Amino acid sequence: MDIKLTFNGESHEVEIKPGDTLLKTLRRLGYYGVKHGCETGECGACTVLIDSKPANACLLSSAQAVGHSVVTIESVGEHPELGWKKSAGLHGIQESFVESGAIQCGYCTPAMILAAKSLLDQNPQPSDDEIREVFSGILCRCTGYKKPVQAVLRTAATARGEEVEPFESGIPASPEWLGGEGEPSPGFDRPFTGIESGEVIAPTRVMPSIQITPETEAWQRVGKPEKKVDAVKLVQGKPAFAADFERRGMLYAKVLHSPIAHARIKHIDKSKAEALPGVSAVLTWQDIPRVVYSTAGQSDPIPGPLDSFSLDNKVRFVGDRVAFVAAESEEIASHALELIDVEYELLEPVFDPAAALQPGAPILHDEPEYVNFAESDPSRNLAAEIRIDIGDVEQGFSEADHIFEDEYEVPKVQQAHIEPHVSITYWDEDDRLVILTSTQVPFHARRQLAPVLGLPIKRIRVIKPRIGGGFGGKQEVLSEDVAAHLTIATGRPVIYEYTREEEFIASRSRHPMRIRMKTGVKSDGTITANAMYALSDTGAYGSHALTVTGNTGHKSMALYVGAGEYRKSPNIQFYADIVYTNHPPSGAYRGYGVPQGFWAVERHMEKIAHELSIDPIEFRTKNSIREGEMQPFSTAWSEGREPRPETIETCGLDECVLQGKAAIGWDQKFGNSDWHQVPGKLHLRRGIGVALVMQGTAIPYLDMGGASIKMNDDASFNLLVGATDLGTGSDTVLAQMAAEILGVKVEDIIIYSSDTDFTPFDKGAYASSTTYISGAAVIKASEEAANRIRVRAASMFNENSEGSEITVDDIRLVDSKALAPDGRSIPLSEIALDTLHHKDQEQIMGIGSFMSKVAPPPFAAQFAEVTVDVETGQVVVDKLVMAVDSGVIVNPITASGQIEGGMTQALGYAVCEEMVYDSEGRARETNLQDYHIFQAHEMPELTTIFVETFEPSHPFGVKAVAEIPMDGVAPAVGNAVFDAVGVNVDANPITPEKVWRELMKSG
Amino acid sequence: MIVEYYRPKDVSETLEIIKNPKIKMVLMGGGTAINRFSSESFAVVDLQDAGLNSLHEKGRILEIGATVTLQTLYENDNIPLNLKTSIYRERAQNLRQVATVAGTLVSSNGRSPFATAMLALDAALSLKPDDETISLGDLFPLREEILGSKLITKVAIPLNVQLAYEYVARTPADIPIVCASVAKWPSGRTRVVLGGFGDAPILALDGPESGGEEISAADAYRHAGDDWASAEYRQEMAKILVNRCLSKLEISK
For residues A572 and A397, give the distance between their C-alpha atoms in angstroms, rounded to a whole number. Answer: 10
Spatial distance between the Cα atoms of A485 and A284, rounded to a whole number of angstroms: 11
Same domain, B140 and B205: no
Q: Report the pLDDT value the prediction gives residue B250, as an integer from 0 to 100.
A: 85
Closest residue on chain A to B91 (Cα): A137
Nearest to A938 by CA among B251, B207, B171, B116: B171
CATH of the domain at A462: 3.90.1170.50
Same structural domain, B26 and B117: no
Of the candidates B39, B43, B230, the beta carbon closest to that of A993 is on B230
Q: Among candidates A378, A767, A704, A306, which has minimal Cα distance to A554?
A: A767
* B16 and B85 housed in the same domain: no
Q: Is the model's pLDDT at A384 over the cut of 60?
A: yes
pLDDT band at residue A171, thresholds of 50, 70 and 90? low
Q: List CB contacts of A596: < 8 A, sequence separation 6 or more.
A: A410, A510, A511, A513, A515, A534, A536, A552, A556
> Residue B106: in which H helix or E strand, if any?
helix B101-107
Residue A758 lies in a domain: yes
Question: Where among A851, A867, A900 does a domain terminate?
Answer: A851
Q: What does chain A come to in residues?
A: 1003
The pLDDT assigned to B1 comes to 84
- The total of structural domains in chain B comes to 3
Pick from A625, A685, A612, A681: which is nearest to A654 by CA?
A625
- Residue A457's CB is within 10 A of a number of other CB atoms, namely 14
Alpha carbon distance A773, A721 (integer Å): 11
pLDDT, tens digit, for every residue of B47-62?
A: 999 999 999 999 999 9
Measured distance between the N- and C-terminal CA atoms of chain B, rounded to whole angstroms: 50
Contacts of A446 (CB under 8 A, 6+ apart): A435, A457, A460, A461, A462, A756
Provide ipTM, 2 decimals: 0.97
CATH number at residue B100: 3.30.465.10
User: What integer is the mean pLDDT of A581-594?
Assistant: 98
Q: Are residues B145 and B89 in the same domain?
A: yes
Q: Which domain holds residue B14?
A: 2-48
Of B158, B176, B199, the last residue of a domain is B158
Who contacts A849 (Cβ-Cβ below 8 Å, separation ≥6)? A704, A705, A706, A707, A760, A761, A777, A780
What total of structural domains would you count in chain A?
A: 3
pLDDT for position B253: 67
* A63 touches B: beta carbon within 8 Å: yes
The H or E element containing residue A776 is helix A775-799
Determine the pLDDT at residue A199.
Answer: 43
Indicate whether B63 and B153 sit together in one domain.
yes
Residue A66 touches chain B, beta carbons under 8 Å: yes
The answer as to whether A105 is a domain residue is no
Which of A54, A918, A989 shows the shortest C-beta gap to B97? A54
Task: Select the more confidently predicted residue: A204 or A757.
Answer: A757
Mean pLDDT of B192-202: 97
Per-residue confidence (pLDDT) for residue B35, from 0 to 100: 73
Alpha helix locations (H) across A230-387?
A: 231-235, 271-275, 330-338, 353-357
**pLDDT tens digit sequence for A181-230:** 333 333 333 323 223 333 444 467 778 888 888 888 889 999 999 999 99
Is residue A104 within 8 A of residue A468, CB to CB? The reply is: no
Q: Are residues B83 and B154 in the same domain?
A: yes
pLDDT of A178 above 80: no
Candidates B46, B84, B93, B221: best to mutate against A (most CBs of A within 10 A) is: B93
Instruction: Tell me the CB-side half-sphere exposure of residue A625, using CA atoms within 13 A.
Output: 31
Instruction: Choose the weakest-confidence range: A65-69, A112-116, A133-137, A170-174.
Output: A170-174
* Backbone CA torsion sign across A765, A770, A776, A777: positive
SS3 A673: helix
Task: Work out the end-to-end distance of chain A between its first and last CA atoms, rounded to an integer number of angstroms.
Answer: 66
A136 to chain B, any CB pair closer than 8 A? The answer is: yes
Q: Considering the domain boundaries, does residue A154 fall inside one?
A: no
Across the interface, of A42, A59, A911, the residue whose CB is closest to B98 is A59
The model's pTM = 0.96
Would you say A299 and A368 are in contact if contact means Cβ atoms under 8 Å apart? no
Asked if omega into A760 is within 30° of 0 (cis), the reply is no
CA distance A936 to A126: 15
| Residue A170 pLDDT | 54
| pLDDT number for residue A174 | 46
Question: Does the beta-carbon distance from B173 to A935 stay under 8 Å?
Answer: yes
Which of A993, A995, A996, A997 is the best substitution to test chain B (most B C-beta atoms within 10 A)? A993
Q: What is the mean pLDDT of residues A844-870?
A: 97
Q: Are residues B216 and B233 in the same domain?
A: yes
Three-state secondary structure readout of A10-26:
EEEEEECCCCCEHHHHH
**Is residue A747's pLDDT more than 50?**
yes
The Cα–Cα gap between A401 and A830 comes to 74
Chain segment A634-651, per-residue pLDDT in tens: 988 888 888 899 999 999
CATH code where residue A11 lies = 3.10.20.30
pLDDT at A180: 37
Is residue A486 one of the residues assigned to a domain?
yes
On whether any CB of chain B is under 8 Å from the CB of A694, the answer is no
* Same domain membership, residue B86 and residue B167: no
Instruction: List the domain range (segments joined by +) for residue A33.
Output: 2-75
Chain A residues 907-926 with a CB less than 8 Å from chain B: 911-912, 916, 918, 924
Mean pLDDT score, A671-699? 96
Q: Strands A749-752 and A527-539, how do they pair?
A: unpaired
> How many residues are listed for chain B in this entry?
253
- Among B37, B98, B172, whose Cβ lies nearest the Cβ of A39? B37
Q: Calculate mean pLDDT across residues A425-432.
A: 98
Q: State pLDDT tens for residues B63-81.
A: 999 999 999 999 999 999 9
Touching A: B residues 176-235, CB under 8 Å: 177, 227, 229-230, 233
- Same-domain status, B112 and B86: yes
Residue A767: predicted pLDDT: 84
Contact status of B98 with chain A (Cβ, < 8 Å): yes
pLDDT at B5: 94
pLDDT band at A175 (very low <50, low <70, confident <90, very high): very low
Q: Which residues in chain B are closer than 8 Å to A59, comparing Cβ atoms?
A: 30-32, 35-36, 95, 98
Counting residues of chain B whose pLDDT is more than 90, the rounded percentage is 84
Question: Residue B132: which H helix or E strand, with range?
Answer: strand B132-135
The answer to whether B175 contacts A18, with C-beta atoms less than 8 Å apart, is: no
Question: Is the domain of B76 the same as that of B6?
Answer: no
Which among A18, A56, A869 has the least Cβ separation from residue B4? A18
Residue A21 forms contact with B (CB below 8 Å):
yes
Q: Write down which residue in B119, B138, B158 finishes a domain.
A: B158
Reference A514, options A543, A549, A468, A547; nearest CA is: A549
- Residue ending a domain, choose from A444, A477, A506: A506
Q: Is A872 in contact with B168 (Cβ distance < 8 A)?
A: yes
Instruction: Compare CB distances from B168 to A138, A874, A938 and report the shortest one's residue.
Output: A874
Query: What rounded mean pLDDT belongs to chain A?
Result: 94
pLDDT value, residue A690: 98
The phi, psi pair for A214, rounded to 5°, reads: -65, -25
A445 with A478: CB under 8 angstroms?
no
- Looking at A40, A55, A75, the residue that finishes a domain is A75
Kindly report, residue by residue over A313-361, the tens digit of the pLDDT.
999 999 999 999 999 999 999 999 999 999 999 999 999 999 999 999 9
Percent of chain A at pLDDT exceeding 70: 96
